């Protein structure tokens, strides 16, 4: 019975004192994406399991170890989404977006689910912001998406991040690379973990992304994919770098980046922070030119990225980034008696209709307790209503920051409160300058 009062392991409650920071970050993300022409898409939290098997890849850790998969009451295999790209692409095919004006620029914010060991910045239920640019093949599309990721990180207040890029080529040039990897890892086949022994024949590139310390050590000196690129992939990568340089976006070529999902081709990239320990990647993405055709749609080049919001919040905290203060109550109306309570309800409605944040007592507390509550919620002003104030139509408006009071007409409360709040704003601006 005690479990009913505990969150499931790997999940987290975002409390009111934190949620305003999330709202700020999420709004900045969507605003920045809109500057680049990206519009929000919302897709279901679960899909047919085949959507992820075909897109993410059945040799990845996500599919083999981490997906929440179950049979529904109709006997269908359903999976909670471990990432959003697959669902967005499924929707783009089903709803005909891939047949519309290209590129389709899509962005999203949503929860994802992976069964893995919970640790700092890595939960079983986590949230991602991401974008998908559907129908763009040119190298400047890669640079623009990377530029968008950088702008998002900067606009939410993250600094001291570094960009690492790589090219993992196309299916054609990867054939030779897979041969080289298979030859290299075969020499240590007996030492590999059981999962990677299976990957050796099916997809040796996945061994490079294994989390096992033993496999990581073996992979340290493995051949790098950038040495096996075909001419087209080389030229594409060189052009991506040229566009980034033209935009003054610093980067490092990291030939060991392969990303953890099978659908990537050509450009892959990560933004890395040194402020959160081992879980240093705050954004990852790349190109996936074959994914849409692989999922039954027309051949459509595409690319995108995703960033974990929990991890970003960790970085913001570690960097002491400036966050906006949580909005507080503009006016709390304390009441004494039924007539005052009714009048307070009417006044609060009037204030809220004008855009002010107004509250009154809804617990039947005494005046002292009401004033304590007003202080706790950070009310800027308070107003005490009793029978006398209701009858005369006048009451004292109190500024909670300096205890200054002045009598006002209740039928002019909206104008009077607005004047007082404007004074506070002007005084705060004067202090800054």
Delimit the domains of the chain by residue range.
2-170+230-318, 331-421
Q: Which residue has the tokens 């009071």?
A: 405
CB 132 within 8 A of CB 89: yes
Rounded CA gap, 75 and 70, in Å? 9
Number of other residues whose CB lies within 10 A of the CB of residue 260: 17
For the sheet containing 394-399, what is the strand order?
Answer: 358-360, 331-335, 381-385, 394-399, 405-409
Q: Which phi and psi angles does 381 have, rounded to 5°?
A: -135, 155
**What is the pLDDT, as a whole number, of residue 428?**
53
- The structure's pTM equals 0.90
- At 147-176, the pLDDT tens digits run 999 999 999 999 889 999 999 999 898 888
- First vs last C-alpha separation in the chain: 58
Residues of the chain with pLDDT under 50: 429-430, 432-433
**What is the pLDDT, as a whole number, of residue 427?**
62
Rounded CA gap, 348 and 332, in Å? 9
The sign of the dihedral angle between the CA atoms of 50, 53, 56, 61 is positive
Bridge partner residues of 335 (DSSP)? 385
Rounded CA gap, 372 and 334, in Å? 10
Burial of 389 (0-12, 13-18, 19+ CB in 10 A): buried
**What is the pLDDT, as a whole number, of residue 378?**
95
Considering only CA atoms, which of 73, 44, 76, 77 is closest in space to residue 63? 77
Considering only CA atoms, which of 385, 391, 380 is closest in space to residue 418? 380
**What is the pLDDT, as a whole number, of residue 433?**
42
Tokens linked to 412 = 């002019």
User: 3-state DSSP call for residue 79?
Assistant: strand
- At 219-265, the pLDDT tens digits run 888 999 999 999 999 999 999 999 999 999 999 999 988 876 678 89
Cα 187 from chain centroid? 41
Considering only CA atoms, which of 237, 242, 239 is closest in space to residue 255? 237
**What is the pLDDT, as a whole number, of residue 260?**
63
Rounded CA gap, 56 and 214, in Å? 24
**What is the pLDDT, as a whole number, of residue 2?**
64
User: 3-state DSSP call for residue 71?
Assistant: strand
**What is the pLDDT, as a whole number, of residue 279?**
59
User: 3-state DSSP call for residue 324?
Assistant: coil
Longest dimension (CA), the chain: 93
| CATH 3.20.20.70 matches 2-170+230-318 | no
Considering the four listed CATH numbers 2.30.29.30, 3.40.50.800, 3.10.129.10, 3.30.360.10, the one that applies to the domain covering 331-421 is 3.40.50.800
């Amino acid at each position: 019975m005690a479990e009913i009062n505990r969150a499931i392991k790997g999940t987290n409650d975002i409390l009111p004192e934190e949620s305003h920071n999330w709202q700020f970050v999420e709004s900045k993300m969507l605003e920045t994406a809109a500057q680049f022409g990206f519009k929000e898409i919302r897709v279901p939290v679960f899909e047919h399991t085949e959507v992820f098997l075909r897109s993410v890849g059945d040799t990845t850790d996500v599919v083999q170890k981490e997906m929440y998969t179950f049979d529904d009451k109709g006997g269908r295999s359903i999976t909670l989404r471990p990432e959003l790209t697959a669902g967005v692409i499924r929707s783009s095919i089903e709803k005909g977006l891939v047949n519309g004006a290209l590129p389709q620029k899509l962005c999203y914010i949503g929860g994802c689910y992976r069964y893995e060991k919970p640790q700092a910045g890595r939960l079983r239920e986590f949230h991602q912001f991401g974008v998908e640019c559907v129908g763009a093949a040119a190298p400047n599309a890669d640079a623009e998406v990377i530029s968008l990721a950088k702008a998002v990180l900067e606009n939410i207040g993250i600094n001291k991040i570094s960009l690492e890029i790589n090219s993992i080529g196309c299916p054609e040039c990867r054939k030779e690379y897979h041969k080289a990897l298979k030859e290299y890892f075969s020499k240590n086949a007996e030492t590999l973990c059981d999962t990677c022994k299976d990957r050796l024949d099916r997809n040796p590139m996945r061994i490079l992304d294994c989390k096992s310390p033993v496999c990581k050590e073996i992979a340290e000196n493995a051949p790098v994919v950038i040495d096996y690129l075909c001419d087209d992939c080389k030229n594409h990568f060189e052009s991506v770098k040229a566009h980034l340089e033209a935009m003054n976006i610093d980067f490092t070529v990291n030939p060991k980046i392969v990303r953890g999902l099978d659908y990537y081709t050509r450009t892959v990239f990560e933004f890395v922070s040194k402020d959160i320990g081992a879980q240093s990647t705050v954004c990852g993405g790349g190109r996936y030119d074959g994914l849409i055709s692989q999922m039954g749609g027309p051949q459509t080049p595409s690319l995108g990225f995703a960033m974990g919001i929990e991890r970003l919040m960790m970085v913001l905290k570690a960097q002491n980034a400036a966050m906006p203060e949580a909005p507080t109550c503009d006016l709390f109306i304390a009441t004494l008696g039924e007539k005052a309570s009714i009048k307070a309800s009417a006044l609060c409605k009037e204030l809220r209709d004008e855009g002010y944040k107004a509250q009154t007592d809804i617990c039947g507390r005494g005046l002292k307790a009401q004033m304590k509550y007003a202080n706790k919620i950070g009310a800027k002003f308070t107003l005490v209503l009793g029978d006398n104030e209701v009858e005369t139509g006048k009451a004292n408006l109190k500024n909670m920051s300096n205890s200054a009071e002045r009598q006002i007409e209740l039928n002019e409360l909206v104008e009077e409160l607005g004047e007082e709040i404007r004074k506070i704003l002007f005084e705060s601006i004067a202090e800054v300058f």
